[in-house]
Amino acid sequence: MDSSQLILTLASIVLVSTPLIIAVCGEILTERAGIVNLSLDGTMLMAAMTGFIVAFETDNVWLGFLAGMGIGAFFAFIVAFGSIRLRQSQYAIGFVLTLLGDDLSAFLGQNYTRIPGPIIKHLPIPVLKDIPIIGPIFFNQDPVVYFAFILVAVTWFWLFRTQPGLRLRSAGDRPEAGFARGVGINFQRYLYTILGGALVGIAGASYSLNIKIGWSEGITRGLGWIALAIVIFGGWSPIRGMFGALLFGATKALATYLQRTFPEVSVVAFNAIPWVLMILVLLLVSSDFTERLVTIAPKSLQRPLQRLLRVSPPQALGSTFVEE
Amino acid sequence: MNANRWMRWVWPAVPIAGALVVTSLLLILFGAAPLEAFQAMYQGAFGDQSKILSVMAFWIPLLLASTGLLITFRAGLWNIGIEGQIVVGALAASWVALSLDAPAAVLITLEIVAAMLAGALWAALSAVFKTRGNVHEIFSGLALNSIAIILTNYLISGPWQPPEGGTFRGTAPFQPAALLPLYENSRFSPLSLILAVIAFILVVIALRGTFWGLKLKAIGKNLRSAFLLGVSSEREMILAMMFCGALAGLGGAVRTLSWFDSLRQSISGGIGFMALLVVMLSNYRIFLVPPIAFFFSMVLNGSITLQLRTQLHSSLGGILTELMVLFVLLFGDWAKLGFSRKKDDDG
Amino acid sequence: MHIELRDIRKYFGPVKANDGINLVFEGGRIYGLLGENGAGKSTLMKILSGYQSPDSGQVIFDGQTQNFSSPADALDKGIGMLYQDPLDVPAFSVKDNYLLGRDRRFVLNYQSASHELQEMTARFDFQLDLQTTIDNLSLGERQQLELARLLVGGAQVLILDEPTTGISAEQKEVLFDSMRKLAREEGKTLILVSHKLDEVQELCDHAVVLRRGELVGETDIPCPNEKLVEMMFGQIPERSARPEYDKGETVLELVDLRVPTYRLTIQDINLVVRAGEVFGLAGLEGSGQRLVLQACAGLLHPDQGKILLADQDVSGWPYHRMQSAGMGYLAAGRLEEGLIAGLTLEEHVELAKPKHSFFVKRKELYSKTETKIEQFQIVGRPDSNADELSGGNQQRLLFALLRDNLKLILLEHPTRGLDVRSSNWIWDQLYLRREEGTAILFMSADLDEIFERSDRIAVFSGGVMSRVLDTKDTSVDEIGHLIGGQA
């Protein structure tokens, strides 16, 4: 592969990873507040469908994205409401919604399959796009891609450098402490589940309005589950989640490339990577392997290493909190 | 029965009716008359003998998986990995079908054993990750599901590809001796029904009549107290998962050896996830599971005819069943909705 | 700052946690709040600090009645409480934890946080690593941080709940110095909730004693310990004469036992319990008795020393193995650690059987359960759910589930929350067992019970075990002293 082809490939990896990055950021916000939204896969399908139909009928891509956001927020609201107010299992509700989203999107979208529709216009950024190498990869894309990267930075900043972020995290890590400091725990959980869902909706819509043109049944199927996996092995951190999503995109590209040149090499290995990584990280979290690793490292490296390897989930993830 | 208890039994009919209403609205939205559509579905399921047999053939693996899930739910486990267990069961059966040469009786027996073993071991992985590694079975299940599917795709397009080249659709049809004997021209295998009935009876006995079933119930309700009473949760959880995995694997074998005649890409057809819905809708009541599974099968097969007749997408069947589960989940618990008034405790 | 609690009442069902309490706290003084477990101290302080609201009564600050909506609200008004397990977020960094809920500023200002923390820690001579995360700190350090946070948040009144359990002696000195400084130099009001009489004598000006939800007395310090003990525990009637019982062979022996846990480490535990003996572990909760019981049950493992059951070394044996060896354990949380809500009495009886058949024999089980119900006078049917039973009947059920011919029975708070009739019945059962040769080791926060029922007693205070006392040779006073922490 010559260098210009490589650059094109890298650019397409960035493009293809974008929905995942957005979805991962959304789910990180939700899980950091203490709720697991299992409906991601179904939500993304619904958002892709709805986004496309709305954009098609109104001939306005942005309205399509808005519709996708709305659907994402709505599905997430059901999960939050069902688990907080109705006290049912968030796993069960999320799970049913994921299946429902799949079937519902296939049904409602049946008259709109495989027709071309409006797409986001390409938006190369002047000056920046001419920087050698990174220019064409990162700055010769469309607005959704830029949004995704800005979102990562904003999410990171929000979570770790702002007061609202502290409040959000307290809801997921130790609600009793948050409550004692005046944080409305259930409010945080509603807010960020819905917000996270809206972001997942954007991710879904971007698939039918940006990456693939138009809607077809099952277009994003599987991505929601992958996003859940990435949240975990990215250690609930937006930056690592971004790398996880890029890694996933890269392995897909690599798999196709290798398959062409070495038909013998199994595609299996690459597609399975995010899943194997997820299990490994989960195993790592509960054992004290990372702690022991940190203690053997040289003194000066210990603190940054500890911060890098911190992969534990929010302590109160998945549990209910009753405000007295 | 006092008013409260009566309401708790009867109330779930309301969300179910609600699901029917919403589905009807969807139909109207697409210009179809609901009654006609439901009629089409009904005919699609019961219209003639071959259709009924199709419903039954689809029902069996679903029943096997749902029955297995009763065990894991009893122990308080969320076995989302059931899809993967079905798939590896199918893989194991396929391996026997493609590699061995023997009379039908031998082949089929080996296929069944291999499938159950494979499903059990695949489930055991999730279980061990949970007991030793504290990894929630939802996440290990998701991962193992995907890995199983990836494995299938690899085998179909690679080592097991049909002679005309890998197309990702499936392997070449298995030798006739490897397939389950079918009733007339249908996809229904009477043998599979017998196996399913046996499995169901075994599960009923296990859950209601054995000490092991009681241990699972204890673990599912209060792990700590169960431990203090003498129950070793680790061992029982692993066994529960393996039992379920075996039944799921058997379901996978039935799929690949009767519904299909080869290993296909989507071999499980989402039956594992469907089984979870079946058990959720039945509110974990053992004897409701077979009829509800049958209902699911009926709706899903019927919607294929629906699609043929009305040009409406067959996913409507799935929508109906999923809405039912969603509404029952959200609104089906009379007590939790806050309408019932509980007696004051004088403990 | 003048704080008045006027006629505070708080009931939890039939339990009167606070039954009409009237108290006044003045600025610049250190108060000690004393009382047994269940006396109502924590409830009262939770009300004062905004975590709970009273059923009736008022909290009045400088003449103004207050209605706190949350602990944060209370802190705004000037009251902060330091919990035994500080309400911090273990995953957060020190600065993040400090800044949570601190002010309305959008972007976190780490520099000012650093500054404020450094100032505060210097003021009180805390040695804190400000660069790390909360879960890397010891309990004492977490307390210091929480204290700093409350002070910066404007607390004029500080309530400290059993602050010295689980911190080192040096940290305790630092804490006490800071408390004195806050009261004397800054005019703040400090309330120390504690059962350690020597600490209360050391630090406080004034002691307030609660018992069974009521205020039973107040006194200035210094005052003789006996007076405090008497107020806390009330008059104990003379021990009724009980026939001597012949003890048998040694059943349980603990040799130089050491059991480490995050909060507390107990060490140098030596005791012997013989067949037919009732041995009581006295002391207030969190002092270490529970750890001893759990170690004997195999739920916790010692890292030093030995446990011997009937001359066999069982140190480190897991719980189920101990069960098979003839140990029975009754935890305090009946529905959390003993019975299973949703399961029937029959099912419990079946689970508790030492030997099991593959199939559950329904008829046999039913009649066996009926027999147990009669034998243990449980109000309930074989098919009743365990959680439907009243507390007393739940305890009877737990007893019914104990195996026969046990060598050793370990009990946490055997009669907690029970009426007199049920309590007496429980002890009658235990005496029956002891006549069979079972050794009984139990813990209780009820001094009456300890004194009345045990043959021998050991007292725990702050993780340290006193010498073993023969009940007929000791007095309530002596036990009270030992609970208060004096040898």
Cβ contact A278–B323 (<8 Å): no
Return the pLDDT at B313.
85
Alpha-carbon distance C287 to C264, whole Å?
Answer: 8
Q: Which residue did the predictor score with more confidence, C171 or C302?
A: C302
Mean pLDDT to the nearest integer, C230-254: 70
Top-ranked range on mean pLDDT: pick from A107-111, A255-259, C119-123: A107-111
Tell me what ipTM this predicted complex has: 0.88
Measured between CA atoms, how close is A264 to chain B, in angstroms? Answer: 8
Alpha-carbon distance B260 to A122, whole Å?
Answer: 46
Q: Which residue did the predictor score with more confidence, B206 or A1?
A: B206
Return the pLDDT at B237.
94
Cβ contact C92–A166 (<8 Å): yes
Measured between CA atoms, how close is B247 to chain C, in angstroms? Answer: 21
Cβ contact C340–B222 (<8 Å): yes
Return the pLDDT at C486.
56
Does C25 touch chain B if contact means CB atoms closer than 8 Å? no
Mean pLDDT to the nearest integer, B104-123: 94
Return the pLDDT at B338.
60
Alpha-carbon distance C228 to C33, whole Å?
Answer: 11
Which residue pairs, CB below 8 angstroms and at least 24 apart, start in B49-53?
Answer: B49/B186, B50/B185, B50/B186, B51/B301, B51/B305, B53/B183, B53/B184, B53/B186, B53/B187, B53/B188
Return the pLDDT at B165.
67
- DSSP bridge pairs for C220: C206
Please check whether residue B101 is in contact with residue B135, taking contact to mean a CB–CB distance below 8 angstroms.
no
Tokens of C379: 């109000």
Three-state DSSP class for residue C257: strand
pLDDT grade, residue A160 (50/70/90)? Answer: very high
Q: Is the previous residue joined to A143 through a cis bond, with omega within 30 degrees of 0?
A: no
Measured between CA atoms, how close is A299 to chain C, in angstroms? Answer: 14
Cβ contact C339–B228 (<8 Å): no
Torsion from C-alpha of C74, C77, C82, C86, nearest 10 degrees: 60
Cβ contact C352–B229 (<8 Å): yes
Environment class of C188 (CB within 10 Å of its CB; exposed 0-12, middle 13-18, buried 19+): buried
- Which residues of chain B does C350 touch, with a Cβ-Cβ cutoff of 8 Å? 211, 214
Tens-digit pLDDT profile for residues A194-245: 999 999 999 999 988 888 778 888 888 889 998 998 898 888 999 999 999 9
Assess whether pLDDT exceeds 80 at residue C195: no
Return the pLDDT at B344.
34
Tens-digit pLDDT profile for residues A136-159: 788 888 889 999 999 999 999 999
CB contact set of A267 (below 8 Å; sequence gap of 6+)? A255, A258, A259, B150, B153, B154
Could you identify the residue written with the tokens 């999503």? A245
Mean pLDDT to the nearest integer, C353-360: 88
Cβ contact B129–A103 (<8 Å): no
Tens-digit pLDDT profile for residues C24-77: 998 888 999 988 766 788 889 989 988 888 898 989 988 888 888 888 889 888
Does A128 touch chain B if contact means CB atoms closer than 8 Å? no
> Residues of A300-316 as b/e, b for ≥16 C-beta within 10 angstroms?
eeeeeebeebbbbbbeb
Tens-digit pLDDT profile for residues C420-472: 777 888 888 898 888 888 999 999 877 778 888 899 999 988 778 888 888 88
pTM (whole model) above 0.90 = no
Assess whether pLDDT exceeds 90 at residue C340: yes
Please check whether residue C279 is in contact with residue C454, taking contact to mean a CB–CB distance below 8 angstroms.
yes
Cβ contact B211–C336 (<8 Å): no
Q: Which residue did the predictor score with more confidence, C279 or A119?
A: C279
Q: Which domains does chain A have, with CATH numbers?
A: 3-261 (1.10.3470), 270-314 (no CATH)
Could you identify the residue written with the tokens 């203490």? A34
pLDDT grade, residue C225 (50/70/90)? Answer: confident
Alpha-carbon distance A108 to A89, whole Å?
Answer: 28
Which of C89, C107, C131 faces A170 most closely, judged by CB atoms?
Answer: C89
Return the pLDDT at A74.
97
Interface of B with A (CB under 8 A): 26, 78, 80, 129, 133-136, 138-140, 142-144, 146-147, 150-151, 153-154, 158, 270, 273, 276-277, 280, 312-313, 315-316, 318-319, 322-323, 325-326, 329-331, 333, 336-337
Q: Which residue did the predictor score with more confidence, A291 or B255?
A: B255
Please check whether residue B97 is in contact with residue B254, taking contact to mean a CB–CB distance below 8 angstroms.
no
Q: How many CB atoms lie within 10 A of CB A122?
A: 11
Alpha-carbon distance B20 to B178, whole Å?
Answer: 42
Tens-digit pLDDT profile for residues C1-17: 788 999 999 888 767 78
**Closest alpha carbon within chain B to A274:** B143
> Residues of B61-87 as b/e, b for ≥16 C-beta within 10 angstroms?
bbbbbbbbbbbbbbbbbbbbbbbbbbb
* Nearest Cα to Cα of residue C351 among A176, A63, B220, B244: B220
Does A256 touch chain B if contact means CB atoms closer than 8 Å? no
Three-state DSSP class for residue C163: coil
Which of B140, B147, B323 faces A272 most closely, judged by CB atoms?
Answer: B147
Tokens of A134: 């990174």
Residue type, C448: D
Substitution target from C89, C99, C108 for chain A, most A beta carbons within 10 A: C89
* Nearest Cα to Cα of residue C277 among C464, C436, C413, C412: C436
Mean pLDDT to the nearest integer, B193-212: 95
CB contact set of C27 (below 8 Å; sequence gap of 6+)? C1, C2, C156, C187, C188, C189
Mean pLDDT to the nearest integer, C150-155: 86
Environment class of A4 (CB within 10 Å of its CB; exposed 0-12, middle 13-18, buried 19+): exposed
CB contact set of C99 (below 8 Å; sequence gap of 6+)? A163, A166, C108, C109, C110, C113
Please check whether residue B325 is in contact with residue B281, taking contact to mean a CB–CB distance below 8 angstroms.
yes
Return the pLDDT at A307.
65
Cβ contact C51–A180 (<8 Å): yes
Cβ contact C92–A173 (<8 Å): yes
Measured between CA atoms, how close is B325 to chain A, in angstroms? Answer: 7
- Which residues of chain A does C71 touch, with a Cβ-Cβ cutoff of 8 Å? 179-182
Interface of A with C (CB under 8 A): 161-167, 169-170, 173-174, 176-183, 303, 312, 314-315, 324
Measured between CA atoms, how close is B214 to chain C, in angstroms? Answer: 7
